[in-house]
Structure 1
Amino acid sequence: MSLPIPFLNTVEKLIPRERRYDDPLSTLAFGTDASFYRLIPKLVIRVESEAEVIALLQAAHTELVPVTFRAAGTSLSGQAITDSVLLLLGDNWNGREIRDGGAQIRLQPGVIGAQANAWLAPFGRKIGPDPASINACKIGGIVANNASGMCCGTAQNSYHTLAGLRLVLADGTLLDTEDASSVAAFRNSHATLLDQLAELGRQTRANADLAIKIRHKYRLKNTTGLSLNALVDYDEPLDILSHLLVGSEGTLGFISAVTYDTVPEHPHKASALLVFPDVESCCKAVTLLKSQPVSAVELLDRRSLRSVENKPGMPEWVKGLSASACALLIESRAASQSLLHEQLNQIMASIAVFPLEQKVDFSEDPTVYNQLWKIRKDTFPAVGAVRQTGTTVIIEDVTFPIEQLAEGVNRLIALFDKHHYAEAIIFGHALEGNLHFVFTQGFDSPEQVARYDAFMQDVTQLVAVEFGGSLKAEHGTGRNMAPFVELEWGSDAYQLMWRIKRLLDPRGILNPDVVLSEDPDIHLKNLKPLPAADEIVDKCIECGFCEPVCPSKGLTLSPRQRIVIWRDIQAKKRAGLDTTELEQAYQYQGIETCAATGLCAQRCPVGINTGDLVRKLRGGQAHHAGSAAWLAGHFATALKGARLTLRVANGARKVLGAPLLAKTSGALRQLSGNRLPQWTPAVPQAARPIQLTPATVDARPRVIYLTACVSRAMGPAASDREQVPLIDKTRMLLEKAGYQVVFPENLESLCCGQPFASKGYPQQADDKRRELIDALLKASRGGLDPIYCDTSPCTLRLVQDALDDRLKLFDPVRFIRSHLLDRLEFTPQDKPVAVHVTCSTQHLGEAQGLIDIVRRCTNEVVIPEGIHCCGFAGDKGFTTPELNAHSLRSLKEAVQYCEEGVSTSRTCEVGLTQHGGIDYHGLVYLVDRVTRPRPDA
């Protein structure tokens, strides 16, 4: 059925066309969340204001149009998908207000959880919930799912740390529980609703058996069904209402702001890994640890340890553990080191009676405890990475009463064996009796679906009936457990949930079939296919962790969505369906607007670089191998051509003036069908050819200076206050530090190959890289001298795959950090400096190193929030300028108080200068300005 015309008319009047999506590619892309379900929405609307949400809900309420809200789409149980209307949070939901020295924080629903903690870090505070997806999930989802995590437990979840809520009901009514006038207006307009909520609370508290059951259920971690504890914990109807919204998964209203009471973030911590000989002794230890000063206790069964035993950094003894072994990863935190040491002694004394197979003692060393937590965090992706192509990885989370945890673990393992899930693993938040189990499942045949259903029927009977536990501890009910809510809660509680749903959403428009469903088979419908597409991306589990760092997300597609669409194209082709229209749309949305810088791989649990797929697809379209080969063989000539182009552009600027040239360039680009590049005042002038001086024999240490081709071609922009070229500035700094600067021979012909690789010509790219490495070996006397590369993307290109380990290659950050700090004396300036950490700097592991160097140079460092990749991507800033503009859309406001920015990529600096409104330079400019040679160096 199509959407009602009156509703569509309202949408068209309210929402600009560029924020409405109804084409096949977009609706498929947004029909995917992190769960194993898929529904294709009829319409996706990117909402940017509360007023829009109110108007849309009023229209939906009138026209009976089902609506689902979407934040980050990291939900695991099918909460963020719909076959009707999907309201997607846009950019403008990132507001925050820090109160009382960090004791409280008010957040809009689009704020990423980790960003909230970054804002609170200077105050020594954090929000209570700490889900594993905190680097990607957003506050709206955290509250709506009542997410918890490894350290959160039950005391610090959203329900228990809620201080205020701003919400919109299904009929479009707004309520802000912290605004007296809003509360008064709501009491006046919705007095009947509040009276009914109060009456439901009285009835529930008067029903002794039901009230006891509710309190018992929420003694455990529990997100199955609606938050009935609101009816026994509160008698004020506004408190009942706001706490019912927590964990409601978008079925009772829209959360437009939340105020948290924050919790301490203790600075001192230590972690240990203890391996017990069996599940029983491990779980008995957990019972004792419950009363100890521990912040987290994570259980890992033998299967989960086996899934990661071959990972780098794993202790060798893990492979030799017995088949029955079971481990605890324990963390303790404290306000002081002395208190921490007292706690560690107390913890170990409490479980000293238990024999251990192996252990890693408590360590405060970040390298050690980060590695231990990496073991825990790698278990889920380890299963996903080895699954058979076409299957999905499913993660369930249940809670057993802690006193029955050992039996629960063993009974779950028995169910894995019964239903032949040999790859299944168990890990979890042991202090709460909360276990995650991960298994792989195909849905390609009725037999596979029946096997899954039989398994889930057994699991739900075991957990909910036999043990009185929770079927969903922290991932939310979704569609996955909606048919089993009554099984867990019983008829009285289940009917009470339906009364609440019908009271707050009488027309049933909010996220139907989520949490509560009248369809007993809803968990077996709309199962998501994961067809083979390409071995580069076949292991993708569509979790969405990659999305926050992608520069094209919100402009076109995110990495997750690129994979979703490519999977669908390949599946349709195998089925003999016409994919012409989809592939035409994908050309721009999936291929042309991908920066292909690979930041997504850093966030991906299974290490997928979607840029690799895009480069491969570009290679399939690259039909000018002869031209590429000619350019590779005549690179010096090509470089001269680039300089000539820049000189012509600069001549046009002098004749026409910058404003007119920019306008003319834009018009010509539009007339050319976006084939001509865009000129802006940030475009560089042509660089002067390098004045080479032959190496001499003297006492100074030598450094081989590899100037990137962009540094050789591009000088400063005409508008830049700094007119010394990068090459000259770098040479000045190196010589100031006492180095003799030596250039490789035939420098004009050398290139790392990156321009060829990004265009889909891997052979020419590899040939140029090999040629350059040979030249560097010769210049460095077989690797004796260090090699300084002035652009981090080129450095990354050269160190990838380690073609020759004799070369000592350094990007600007690492060379300054390791070779210049003890040779230079720094006098920091007072002017604030903006820092852009390039993608390549992040891949090289030098992000913090760059920030630390800049902090030596200035007393105020500005790191713009939410900008991970600038989207310039070599030449995309010229050829696809909208990608660069979209990625840096918030930069100007973030750096408005700075006079200068620094980075380590000449091309990135062009885009940063244009969109930041300040001049961005290489790091060496700043370091040179604030340093002088150390007398003792």
Structure 2
Amino acid sequence: MALKYRNNDNDLPVPYQEFYHNIRRYIPQNRIFTDIVRRYAYGVDASLYRITPKIVVQVRDITEVSSLIKEAAIQKIPLTFRAAGTSLCGQALTDSVLVVISEGWQSYSIDDDGSRITLQPGIIGSAANLYLKPYSRKIGPDPASIDHAMIGGMAANNASGMCCGTSDNSYKTVEDMKVVFADGSVLDTANAQSRKSWESEHSKLVEELQTMRDEVQSDDKLRELIKHKFKIKNTTGYSLNAFVDYHDPIDILKHLLIGSEGTLALIAEITYRTVLDNKYKASSLMIFPDMNTACLAVMKLYRPLVSAAELLDRVSLRSVEDEPGVPSYIKTLPEQAAALLVEIRAEDNETLYEQIGQVKEKLSDIKVLEPIEFTDVRKEYEQLWKIRAGIFPAVGGIREIGTTVIIEDIAFPKEKLADGVMTLRKCMDEHGYGDGIIYGHALDGNVHFVFTQSFSSKEDKQRYKVFIEDICSFVVGTYNGSLKAEHGTGRNMAPFVEMEWGKKAYKLMKQLKTAFDADDILNPDVIITENGNLFVENIKAMLPTDGIIDKCIECGYCEVNCPSHNLTFSPRQRIATQREITRLTVTGKSPNLLNQFKKAYEYLGEATCAADGLCQLSCPVSINTGDFTKHERSLAATDSAKNTADFITNHFAGVSSFMKFGLTGANAAHSVLGTTAMEYIAKKVRDASGGKIPRWTKWMPKKGATPQQTISENDTQKPKVVYYPSCVTRMMGPSKLDDDKRQVSDVMLSLLKKAGYAVILPDNMDKYCCGMPFESEGFFEAADRMSAELEKLLLGCSNNGEYPILCDTSPCVYRMKKVMGKNLQIYDTVDFIHDFLLPKLNIKKSSETIMLHVTCSSRKMGMFEKFKDVAEACADKVIIPEKVHCCGFAGDKGFKIPELNESALEHLNEAIPAGCKHGYSNSRTCEVGLAAKSGICYQSIAYLVDECAK
């Protein structure tokens, strides 16, 4: 891959220059970033802070981490470890060296019939549960961010969630871990020899842990304080309960590292005891006249009678009352109303209903505005929990542009919950945050409060500062609660750790930090700080930039679906960089820096954006960064480029013929030269052109074909369907290496004939296109002209929309449904096969194991399950790689920027089982990229169905 950007270490301070040059001996340069643009892009997490690191390093294994730490120790350069960066408190930020531990840290193992799972830190929490699903087990922690947060961060922050409480969090379920310390040494607590060797070499640290343990055990007052603080959720400071709960120094060490936020050592691997994932569930949305009553109700509930009880105030209910599936009566609730969302889980149905009866009995004397009813219908209770999950995003979506969404996290002793929540509401109102939301895990006394804040003036910052100080004062002083229940201490509560714990306990925490990290090189200022104003420093600017992206709260949920996030930028990084470009433009103070950002963004942000829109599916405020990229492309389009687009639309049939001619020539050359010579020559030619000549692959398609009308008199009584082969399949046929040499259209016609359909083919199809290729490049007017002409054609063919229309390429169908869906019944290959053809076909299932790629457009159209159903109806075993989402081919980008396709499919081959020879999808260009990466034949799923339809 030719780098379109380069590092610049000339501006680094001298120790960092030496550090940079030394680590390049064992970490490839393409995983070390020193240029300002990429460093800036990594200087963001889900918190309200922004700090730009001096160096960003992506490490792939424990050896690299150990070497990196040793080098940092020599230079006295601080390191901050980061996994997914969904942290809410700024603990994943630094102005020194940011060490990214995500890609490459994906190994896991399951033991004892699922009762134990060992995970590396780059694994996403929900993926761990997916691995455990066959055993009816799961990991204990269940944070709301589990679909995006990685194990490393979940353990380092002692993240909990709605159901795990204080009994199933990382602290309570950790069994063993591999640890890298501040001197670069490695300890595997599950290995007796490793323990013995490490304890021998670190006898001083072991002795200090024993001394601190004995000090805590002999101090009744301190011991009781620690016990009290951890009866409720508490992630403020270090896990001092380790000195109360354990005696062995290694056991103490393991539990101290949980929640230590990378300030004591790096957890490079963790083994959890898993918990039962109950099959039977039921939920109830209970409505109460006010918050006080709701809190009194939850005080009557406990585990294991209920698994979760989520408190929702009236403001939070109002924020989602217009969302699909929300009960209509929510809009009519009085201003003081509040709700509890309660879930019950059991091992069998009989126990489930026994527990439902017990809950109703316990709450029988509590006033409600609606009768308490539970539902055990999965679709219904999942909808209720979607309402709960949508509250935080709803605030982000409706906030005033330019403000920051802040979510704070506190806990009260359960017996003081009602009074504590009412005091919190009063404090918020008095400080001008009356529209802020209160909700949270009330069963644990844990509540979140969400509000929006502008930091554009000194007065704004001062108001926030006083508000937080007042919150801390009453949570600790009045209610003896936790300032951080589950989000970790981070930067925003580090100045208040001593306030919560007192001088003696805080002194012990400082001793811990010094014992583990005497030179303070591991995530300094997080948990332990001398800076009382840390929580109001380095607050990110959220300047209005563009209507498409202004709602972004920079949580990073988008990254899991982005095909370019391991190559260049993720959607979050694109948006953060665009906000900085806006700031630099508005201030006008650094024109050279502005030019650097704009120039770098051309490749890092725009060129390598697949514009697939999958980011929207996981974005809590539904931002489609792909739409923003297309918008930017439209603004940047020159008159010459627009004229070219217009020429193509006016001469589309001719351009199609030219494309077919080119494919014919390439195929002929391939046949004459052979694969090896053709690959060598094609690469040399592409390199000589500076990447302007598209990449050639041995899976390059031959020319396609346009089918001709074949309807006969015998077809008049058959059901009719309009088949519109996309311009892609009309131009691109099978490749020289594909097993089935038929055109896609031939296969579709065969299938439709077997199912008894009369097929109507539009006339002069080569003139038409849905406009999708033009839209992708930002030529919106050209795209709309093409789609309007196609719509007229299809209206005529379908008898004004009476007959269904089938198109064989999913990205085209996605656009067609978007711009023509009101007037026409438009179906994708998978959709039509699933809904209409399978019931009419005699399928003989293949014994083959096949690969399945569900395209991004299919995912956006909600066809994932249908895709899977069609494949499983035809093959004994279907593999859908969990780490592959969008293939990154993105129309023609797979030819122009092949590194995007290669990066997006980095984990494809590891998912292909031995002996697997075929893969299927529903987009011809995607299939080319998948075949090139995997080395196996990928074709339309229609080929599989036709083969099995005997």
- Give the alignment's TM-score, normalised by structure 1: 0.98
The amino acid that maps onto 1:635 is F
The amino acid that maps onto 2:749 is R
Candidates 773, 792, 813, aligned match of 2:830: 813
Per-residue CA distance 1:610-643 (angstroms, 9 max, x = gap): 1111101111222221221121122111111111
The answer (yes or no) to whether the contact 1:109–1:139 under 8 Å persists in 2 is yes
Indicate the residue corresponding to 2:850 in structure 1.
Answer: 833
The amino acid that maps onto 1:598 is G
The amino acid that maps onto 1:585 is A
Per-residue CA distance 1:550-591 (angstroms, 9 max, x = gap): 010111000000001111011101111311121111100100
Per-residue CA distance 1:273-299 (angstroms, 9 max, x = gap): 010111122111111121562111111
Give the deviation of 1:341 after TM superposition: 2.1
Q: CA separation in 1, counterparts of 2:372 and 2:701?
A: 55
Indicate the residue corresponding to 2:747 in structure 1.
Answer: 729
Matches within 5 A, 1:373-384: 373-384=385-396
Q: CA separation in 1, counterparts of 2:526 and 2:167?
A: 26
Give the deviation of 1:361 after TM superposition: 2.6
Per-residue CA distance 1:68-110 (angstroms, 9 max, x = gap): 0010110000001101111111521101011011110000111
Give the deviation of 1:6 after TM superposition: 4.3
Candidates 680, 689, 696, aligned match of 2:706: 689
The answer (yes or no) to whether the contact 1:817–1:849 under 8 Å persists in 2 is yes
Is 1:535 the equivalent of 2:553? Answer: no
Per-residue CA distance 1:176-235 (angstroms, 9 max, x = gap): 000111011012111221121011111101111111111111110010001101010001
Q: CA separation in 2, counterparts of 1:895 and 1:597?
A: 24
| SS of structure 2 residue aligned to 1:160 | helix
Indicate the residue corresponding to 2:60 in structure 1.
Answer: 48
Q: CA separation in 2, counterparts of 1:905 and 1:9?
A: 45
**In the superposition, relative to structure 1, how do residues 291 and 150 fare at CA in structure 2: closer, same or farther (>3 Å)?**
closer
Q: CA separation in 1, counterparts of 2:293 and 2:269?
A: 45
Is 1:425 the equivalent of 2:428? Answer: no
Candidates 172, 187, 191, aligned match of 1:179: 191
Is 1:59 the equivalent of 2:71? Answer: yes
The amino acid that maps onto 2:672 is V
Indicate the residue corresponding to 2:5 in structure 1.
Answer: none
Is 1:596 the equivalent of 2:611? Answer: yes
Q: CA separation in 1, counterparts of 2:296 and 2:70?
A: 54
- Aligned pair count? 931
The answer (yes or no) to whether the contact 2:52–2:94 under 8 Å persists in 1 is yes
The answer (yes or no) to whether the contact 1:399–1:473 under 8 Å persists in 2 is yes
Indicate the residue corresponding to 2:82 in structure 1.
Answer: 70
| SS of structure 2 residue aligned to 1:374 | helix
The answer (yes or no) to whether the contact 2:711–2:758 under 8 Å persists in 1 is no
Indicate the residue corresponding to 1:495 in structure 2.
Answer: 507
Per-residue CA distance 1:689-711 (angstroms, 9 max, x = gap): 32322464522101111111111
Q: CA separation in 2, counterparts of 1:854 and 1:349?
A: 48
Is 1:883 the equivalent of 2:906? Answer: no
Is 1:607 the equivalent of 2:622? Answer: yes
Which deviates further from its counterpart, 205-214 or 328-337? 328-337
Indicate the residue corresponding to 1:894 in structure 2.
Answer: 911
Candidates 222, 228, 231, aligned match of 2:243: 231
Give the deviation of 1:665 after TM superposition: 1.4
**In the superposition, relative to structure 1, how do residues 638 and 9 fare at CA in structure 2: closer, same or farther (>3 Å)?**
closer
Indicate the residue corresponding to 2:6 in structure 1.
Answer: none
Is 1:699 the equivalent of 2:717? Answer: yes
Indicate the residue corresponding to 2:276 in structure 1.
Answer: 264
Per-residue CA distance 1:891-927 (angstroms, 9 max, x = gap): 1221142111111111100100110111111111111
The answer (yes or no) to whether the contact 2:706–2:765 under 8 Å persists in 1 is no
The answer (yes or no) to whether the contact 1:36–1:76 under 8 Å persists in 2 is yes
The answer (yes or no) to whether the contact 1:695–1:742 under 8 Å persists in 2 is no
Q: CA separation in 2, counterparts of 1:4 and 1:737?
A: 68
* Percent identity (aligned): 46
Give the deviation of 1:820 after TM superposition: 1.6
Is 1:317 the equivalent of 2:322? Answer: no
Is 1:524 the equivalent of 2:541? Answer: no
| SS of structure 2 residue aligned to 1:14 | coil
The amino acid that maps onto 1:408 is G
Matches within 5 A, 1:362-761: 362-576=374-588, 577-578=590-591, 579-623=594-638, 624-694=641-711, 696=713, 698-761=716-779
The answer (yes or no) to whether the contact 1:616–1:760 under 8 Å persists in 2 is yes
Q: CA separation in 2, counterparts of 1:401 and 1:609?
A: 42
The amino acid that maps onto 1:902 is Y
The answer (yes or no) to whether the contact 1:273–1:359 under 8 Å persists in 2 is no
**In the superposition, relative to structure 1, how do residues 726 and 182 fare at CA in structure 2: closer, same or farther (>3 Å)?**
same
Candidates 270, 274, 277, aligned match of 2:289: 277
Which deviates further from its counterpart, 681-690 or 565-574? 681-690
| SS of structure 2 residue aligned to 1:664 | helix
Q: CA separation in 2, counterparts of 1:311 and 1:5?
A: 52
Indicate the residue corresponding to 1:935 in structure 2.
Answer: none
**In the superposition, relative to structure 1, how do residues 90 and 435 fare at CA in structure 2: closer, same or farther (>3 Å)?**
closer
Give the deviation of 1:440 after TM superposition: 0.5
Per-residue CA distance 1:709-758 (angstroms, 9 max, x = gap): 11111110001111111110011011101111111222111211001001
Q: CA separation in 2, counterparts of 1:530 and 1:113?
A: 29
Indicate the residue corresponding to 1:779 in structure 2.
Answer: 797
Give the deviation of 1:864 after TM superposition: 1.2
The amino acid that maps onto 1:556 is T
Is 1:329 the equivalent of 2:341? Answer: yes
Give the deviation of 1:158 after TM superposition: 0.3
Q: CA separation in 2, counterparts of 1:349 and 1:876?
A: 62
Give the deviation of 1:879 after TM superposition: 0.9
The amino acid that maps onto 1:604 is C
Is 1:920 the equivalent of 2:932? Answer: no
| SS of structure 2 residue aligned to 1:394 | strand
Which deviates further from its counterpart, 338-347 or 151-160? 338-347
Indicate the residue corresponding to 1:133 in structure 2.
Answer: 145
Q: CA separation in 2, counterparts of 1:9 and 1:359?
A: 68
Q: CA separation in 1, counterparts of 2:642 and 2:16?
A: 53
Per-residue CA distance 1:540-559 (angstroms, 9 max, x = gap): 00000000110101110000
Candidates 302, 319, 328, aligned match of 1:307: 319
Give the deviation of 1:931 after TM superposition: 2.3
Per-residue CA distance 1:321-363 (angstroms, 9 max, x = gap): 0111110111111222232222222222221222221357311
The answer (yes or no) to whether the contact 1:272–1:359 under 8 Å persists in 2 is no
Indicate the residue corresponding to 1:17 in structure 2.
Answer: 29
The answer (yes or no) to whether the contact 1:399–1:472 under 8 Å persists in 2 is yes
- Give the alignment's TM-score, normalised by structure 2: 0.97
Q: CA separation in 2, counterparts of 1:890 and 1:785?
A: 41
Give the deviation of 1:813 after TM superposition: 1.7
Indicate the residue corresponding to 1:192 in structure 2.
Answer: 204
| SS of structure 2 residue aligned to 1:556 | coil
Q: CA separation in 1, counterparts of 2:534 and 2:575?
A: 26
| SS of structure 1 residue aligned to 2:345 | strand
The answer (yes or no) to whether the contact 2:711–2:759 under 8 Å persists in 1 is no
Give the deviation of 1:7 after TM superposition: 2.8
Q: CA separation in 1, counterparts of 2:851 and 2:305?
A: 41
| SS of structure 2 residue aligned to 1:821 | helix
Aligned-residue Cα RMSD (Å) equals 1.3
Q: CA separation in 2, counterparts of 1:818 and 1:848?
A: 12
Q: CA separation in 2, counterparts of 1:5 and 1:878?
A: 37
Q: CA separation in 1, counterparts of 2:706 and 2:865?
A: 34
Q: CA separation in 2, counterparts of 1:226 and 1:639?
A: 66
The amino acid that maps onto 2:854 is V
Deviating above 6 A after TM superposition, structure 1's stretches of 4 or more consecutive aligned residues are none
The amino acid that maps onto 2:857 is S
Give the deviation of 1:835 after TM superposition: 0.8
**In the superposition, relative to structure 1, how do residues 138 and 755 fare at CA in structure 2: closer, same or farther (>3 Å)?**
same
Q: CA separation in 2, counterparts of 1:16 and 1:750?
A: 47
The amino acid that maps onto 2:509 is M
| SS of structure 2 residue aligned to 1:448 | helix
Give the deviation of 1:790 after TM superposition: 0.9
The answer (yes or no) to whether the contact 2:102–2:121 under 8 Å persists in 1 is no
